Amino acid sequence: MEKVNTAPEAALEPKTKLSGRIIKTTLAGAIVDVGQPLPGVIHISQLSKNPVNKVEDVVKEGQTVDVWVRRVRKDRIELTMIEPLALEWKEIEPDMVVKGKVVRLEPYGAFVEIGAERPGMIHVSELTHGFVKTPGEVVKEGDEIEAKVLDVNRKKKQIKLSVKALEPEVAEFKPAKKEHKKGGRSGSKKEAAEAVEQEEHKEPELTAMQIAWQEALNRSGDNKDFKIRKTKTAVSQEQEDLLNRTLEKRLPTGG
């Protein structure tokens, strides 16, 4: 026989597990000695999850049973042989962290027994950071895991969980990506500036007329402080006249 909880009945909280001995059975249930001043009583509806027609089909006098406290009254302690839920619907709230066992895998996610009326479901996208094709890549049935409650729908009796929410994000991804973008923009600006600078210092190609004119200036000794302009604009009228006079002197006169 397991050690009996001998705490005063006033200190007994709902869901407290006790071990006791059946001392009497009735049509309505059974009386249990749980080591308390008040007798423990199990109603026939609390003997099993399945319907019970006769108390003796489940328990007999002298039998040792495990029971849980449902409520403490002035004259008795109401007990149940149906293990209570670790988490009642009213106790489950978003953001709370729960522990449980993976009991089923589906293509879209994993179901975890957390002690509630229904297993919680972890969508495949909430199993871990990064892409996951199937839940089996991350967990398997029987795994003990910890998860965070994302949402609770008491009407539909659905509990949505996430393991990813408890895992730190991989720091090297986002900062590196941002730094890369920032560096990329800076590099692009730098490259563009260099390209413009190179373009500005690029010597323009001279036309035949400009070359002839330059040669004429060189011979005349007037180009001491002259610098060819770095654009392809047309020469001035004065330059044209000078060039024409130079060319006329070099060309033979007609007979």
pLDDT digits (tens, 9 = 90+) for 87-117: 999 999 999 999 999 999 999 999 999 999 9
Mean pLDDT value across the chain: 80
Euclidean distance between CA atoms 6 and 226, whole angstroms? 113
In 3D space, the residue among 43, 16, 45 whose CA is nearest the CA of residue 31 turns out to be 43
Please report the pLDDT score of residue 114 as a whole number. 96
Please report the pLDDT score of residue 245 as a whole number. 72
Confidence of residue 225 (pLDDT cuts 50, 70, 90): very low
**Close Cβ partners of 76 (under 8 Å, ≥ 6 residues apart):** 38, 39, 40, 41
> Under CATH, which number does the domain 9-80 receive?
2.40.50.140
Q: Which residue has the higher pLDDT, 234 or 107?
A: 107
How many Cβ atoms are within 10 Å of 79's Cβ, its own excluded?
27
In 3D space, the residue among 30, 38, 3, 31 whose CA is nearest the CA of residue 18 turns out to be 3
Q: Evaluate if residue 48 carries a pLDDT over 90.
A: yes
Please report the pLDDT score of residue 174 as a whole number. 53
Euclidean distance between CA atoms 200 and 195, whole angstroms? 9
Contact 82, 90 (CB under 8 A): no
Please report the pLDDT score of residue 1 as a whole number. 39
pTM value is 0.53
Contact 156, 192 (CB under 8 A): no
Confidence of residue 44 (pLDDT cuts 50, 70, 90): very high
Please report the pLDDT score of residue 4 as a whole number. 45
Q: Evaluate if residue 154 carries a pLDDT over 50.
A: yes
Please report the pLDDT score of residue 152 as a whole number. 96
Q: Evaluate if residue 26 carries a pLDDT over 60.
A: yes
CATH homologous superfamily, domain 89-166: Nucleic acid-binding proteins (2.40.50.140)
Share of the chain above pLDDT 70, in %: 64
Please report the pLDDT score of residue 65 as a whole number. 97
Parallel, antiparallel, or unpaired for β 40-43 and 77-80? parallel
